[in-house]
A and B are shown apart, each in its own frame.
Chain A
C-alpha cells in the first residue's frame, strides 16, 4: 500500500479516543483493548513474580525462615493461577487484539463490545482471587490444579476461587470467539487462509482450543462447588464419586491449556525470525499443519499427568506414545525456524535475541517433557522439582520470552518510538542468564528426589536451591528494567520509529504509519504479491 492511500484514510472524518478514564472503560477499539490487556498482564506478571520471590526466599536455605508452610502453599497456588490466567494468557490476547486486525487488514475486531467485556471481566476476577489472601483460612493453597479432596478444605476462599476461575474462563472464551470471528470474516479480500501470517494462524488454532477446553474446566470447578455446598458426590468416594475423575477432567482441560500458552509464542517467533534473517519463513504451510497436529494431539495425551494414579498397562502405553508423538510436529517447527535462519543475513536486535533464546530454551523444556512422557521413568520424576524445571522451561523462556520478543518487535509500531536497543540487549542477557540460573539446577535437585510444593527440604539440596534463589531474584529485578524500557517508549522518549521499523519486514502491519493511527484499514488494503510471506 502506498502512503498516499494511507493519507487519504487519515483525512477521513474520525472521532478520536474519548478523554480520561472513560476512554478505557468504554473503549471498543482493538488497540486500546490490546494495550489494556498487555498492561494488565504486566502488572499480574510482577504480582505473580513477587509471589515466586517469596517462594524462592523461603527455599534459599533449608528450614523454615520467613513464612509458615500454610502461607507457602498459598504462594505456590496463587503464583501459578496468576501467572497462567493473569499474565501469560492475557498477554497473548493483548497481542492478538493489537496485531490480528493489523495483520489481516481488518478495521477492528469483529465483536468490539464483547471485546471490552472480555477485558473488564479480568480485573474483577483477579480482584476476587487476590482478596482471598485476606480471608479466614487464607488464599487457596491446594495447588493450581485444585485436586479434591484437598481443595475442599480451602476456607472461606473456596467459592471465590471457583467463581474467579469461572470468570477467567468466560473472559478467555469471549476473547477466543472474537479472534475466530475476526479471522474468518474480516480478512482483506486477497488474504486467503494460507496467506495468513503464522501469528494469526497459531492464534486461530489457540482460539479453537480455548473454546473446546475452558468450558470443561468451568464444568470441573462447578462440580467442586456443588460437592462442597450442594451435597453432590462427583469426587467424594463416600458418596460413590471418585477423586481421580477430577484429575481426568482437569487434565482434559489442562493439557490443551499448555498448548494454549505456547502456540501463540510459536506464532510470534515465526514472525520475528524471518524478519531478522531477511528470508521468508521456511515451510509456512508445514508450520500450519504442525500447529494443527499439536492442537489435535493435545486432546489425547492428558493422562500422562497421572501415570502415578494407577492405570492399566495399555493405558500407560497409549498415553506414553501419544505424548511422544507430539515431539514430531514440534520438531518440524524447530527445524523450520532453523531452516529460516540458514544462510540468512541475520542481525541480532533484541526481539531476535529473545526469539533465538526461545528456540533453544523451549527445546530444552521439550526434551525434559519427553523424559517425563516415559511412563516407567515418570514414577520417579512425578511431583519432583524435575517437573517444576520442565514446565518453567517451557513457560518462562518459552511463553514469556515469546511475549517479550513480540513486545520488543511490535512496540515501535504501537508507540512510534524505538525502544532503547542498548537497554533491551542488557535486559535480554540478564533475563537469559538468570532464567537458566533459576531453573536449570531444579533438574538436578528434582532427579535427586526433592519434591515440589514444600517449604523445607533435606540439606543435600541446599546448594542448588540457593543458586536457584539467587537466579530468581536476579531475574525478578531485571524485569524492572523491562518495565523501565516500556515506560520510556510509551512516554515517547527515544528515537522516532520509521513506518517500517525494521529492515523490510513482511506483513500488513508494517504498511501503516508508526505509531499505528487509532483507526486503520477502514477500507481493506490490497494484499500485493510479496506483502506477506508468500
Chain B
C-alpha cells in the first residue's frame, strides 16, 4: 500500500515487534496474578484465608455475646495420618482468648513431615479470627508412629459482624515430605 517498499517493511516489523512485546507482557501478567491474588485474599479473607503468622491482639472478652466455634479436620489423600480435634467445638466470647487441642498420629513407620492448612468459614469471619499461636504456622515433624497434641490459641475479634454466630475452623493435614524433597520421583512415589 505504501510507495516505498522498505518503509512498509519497517513499519510491519515495528508493529510485529510491539505485538510480540505485548504477548510477553501478558505472559508476565499471568504470573503477576499470583501475588495479586495473595494480596486480595489477605485483605478480604477470600477463600477463608486467616493470618499465617502469630497475631498480636489484646484480650478483652465481651461476655454479653457468644460465638459457636466448630472444628473440622481433614487428612489430605495419601497422607498417612490420623488427625482430629479433641473437642468437636466450643462456645467463646468475642475478645476472649481460648485454646483448642488437635491430635495427630503418624501411621507410617518412618519419619514424616506434615503441614496443616487452616481455613475459616464463613469467609466474612476469616479476618476476625486471629490465631495467636498455631501448629499451622510451621511444619510438624513426626517420628514413626508418634502421636502429638498440638494447640491453637485464638481470639475472635469483637468487631465480628453481628450476623455471624457460628464460625467453622477447618484444618487439612498434608504430607509435605515431597515438598521438602523436590525430586519428581518422590512425588510419584507418594501417589502410589
Give chain A's interface residues, CB within 8 Å of chain B: 106, 110-111, 114, 153, 173, 176-177, 180-181, 184-189, 211-220, 223, 228-231, 233-234, 236-240, 242, 244-245, 248-249, 252, 310-312, 315, 524
Contact B8 A234 (CB under 8 A): no
Contact between B27 and A181, CB atoms less than 8 A apart: no
Give per-residue flags for B96-110: 1 if the beta carbon is below 8 A from chain A beta carbons, else 0. 000000000000000
Of A216, A230, A238, A248, which one neighbours B117 at CB under 8 angstroms?
Answer: A238
Give 7 new A-B contacts, CB below 8 A, not counting A185-B1, A218-B27: A180-B19, A181-B19, A185-B8, A186-B12, A236-B179, A238-B174, A312-B123
Contact A180 B15 (CB under 8 A): yes
**Interface pair A310/B47, CB less than 8 Å apart:** yes
Asked if A111 and B16 make an inter-chain contact with CB atoms under 8 angstroms apart, the answer reads: yes
**B residues within 8 A CB of A184?**
15
- B191 to chain A: which residues have CB within 8 Å? 153
Chain A residue nearest to B32 (CB atoms) is A219
Partner pick for A237 among B12, B20, B31, B174, CB 8 A cutoff:
B174
Please state if A230 and B182 are interface contacts (CB–CB under 8 Å). Answer: yes
Bound-complex Cα distance A212 to B25 (A): 9
Contact B22–A211 (Cβ < 8 Å): yes
- State in angstroms the CA–CA spacing of A280 and B81 once bound together: 71
Asked if A181 contacts B179 (CB within 8 A), the reply is no
Q: Indicate if B115 sits at the interface (CB-CB under 8 A).
A: yes
Contacts of A231 in B (CB 8 A): 179, 182
Q: Which residues of B contact A214 (CB under 8 A)?
A: 23, 26
Classify the secondary structure of A's interface with B. helix
Contact A219 B31, CB 8 Å, known A214-B23, A524-B1 = yes
Q: When the two chains form their complex, are residues A110 and B16 in contact, meaning their CB atoms are under 8 A apart? A: yes
Q: In the complex the two chains form, is A215's CB within 8 Å of B27's CB?
A: yes
Q: Indicate if the CB atoms of B19 and A216 lie closer than 8 Å.
A: no
Query: 1/0 contact trace for B8-51 toward A, CB 8 Å?
Result: 10011001100110111111111101100100010010111000
Residue on A nearest B15 in the bound complex, by CB: A181
| A177 touching B117 in the complex, CB below 8 Å, given contacts A212-B26, A218-B27, A219-B31 | no
Contacts of B27 in A (CB 8 A): 215-216, 218-219
- The answer to the question of B158 belonging to the interface, with a C-beta cut-off of 8 Å to chain A, is no
A218 near B47 with CB under 8 A, answer: no
B48 contact set on A, CB distance < 8 A: 310
Distance (whole angstroms) from the CB of B138 to the closest CB of chain A:
12
B20 contacts A216, C-beta separation under 8 Å:
no
**Does B115 lie within 8 Å of A228, measured CB to CB?**
no
* Chain A: minimal CB distance from B28 (Å): 8
Residues of B within 8 A of A (CB): 1, 8, 11-12, 15-16, 19-20, 22-31, 33-34, 37, 41, 44, 46-48, 52, 76, 115, 117, 123-124, 172, 174-176, 179, 182, 184, 187, 191
Q: Tell me the dominant secondary structure on chain B's binding face.
A: helix
**Residues of chain A within 8 A of B30, CB atoms compared:** 215-220, 249, 252
State the Cβ distance, A141 to closest chain B Cβ, in Å.
Answer: 15
Q: What residues of chain A lie closer than 8 Å to B175, measured between beta carbons?
A: 238
The closest CB in chain A to the CB of B11 belongs to A185
B41 touches A242 (CB 8 A): yes
B33 pairs with A312, CB closer than 8 A = no
Given known A188-B1, A219-B31, A234-B34, contact A177–B20 (CB-CB < 8 A): yes
On whether the beta carbons of A238 and B176 are closer than 8 Å, the reply is: yes
Nearest A residue to B119 by beta-carbon distance? A237
Residues of A within 8 A of B46 (CB): 311-312, 315
> Judging by beta carbons under 8 Å apart, are A211 and B33 in contact?
no
Complexed CA–CA distance, A111 and B23 (Å): 17
Complex Cα spacing A40 to B115, Å: 49
User: Cβ of B179 and Cβ of A242 under 8 Å apart?
Assistant: no
CB of A437 to closest CB in B, whole Å? 40
**Cβ-defined contact, A189 with B12, below 8 A:** no
28 pairs, A vs B, C-beta closer than 8 Å: A110-B12, A110-B16, A177-B20, A177-B23, A180-B15, A185-B1, A185-B8, A185-B15, A188-B1, A211-B19, A211-B22, A211-B23, A211-B26, A212-B26, A213-B26, A215-B25, A216-B33, A217-B30, A219-B27, A223-B31, A228-B187, A233-B179, A238-B117, A238-B179, A245-B33, A249-B30, A252-B33, A312-B44
Q: Once the chains are docked, how many angstroms separate the CA of A297 from the CA of B113?
A: 46
A173, A187, A189, A311, most chain B CB atoms within 10 A: A173
Most chain A CB within a 10 A radius of its CB, from B15, B44, B172: B15
In Å, the complex CA distance between A231 and B28 comes to: 20
Q: Which residue of chain B is the closest to A186 with respect to CB atoms?
A: B1
Name the distance in Å between B64's Cβ and chain A's nearest Cβ. Answer: 28
Chain B residues whose CB sits within 8 angstroms of the CB of A218 once the complex forms: 27, 30
CB distance from B49 to the nearest CB of A (A): 8
> Are the C-beta atoms of A245 and B37 separated by less than 8 Å?
yes
Give Cα A315 to B52, complex, Å: 24
In the complex, A249→B29 CA distance in Å? 10
Chain B hits for A106, CB < 8 A: 1
Give the most central of B19, B25, B37, B52: most A CB within 10 Å.
Answer: B19
CA distance A293 to B67 in the complex (A): 48
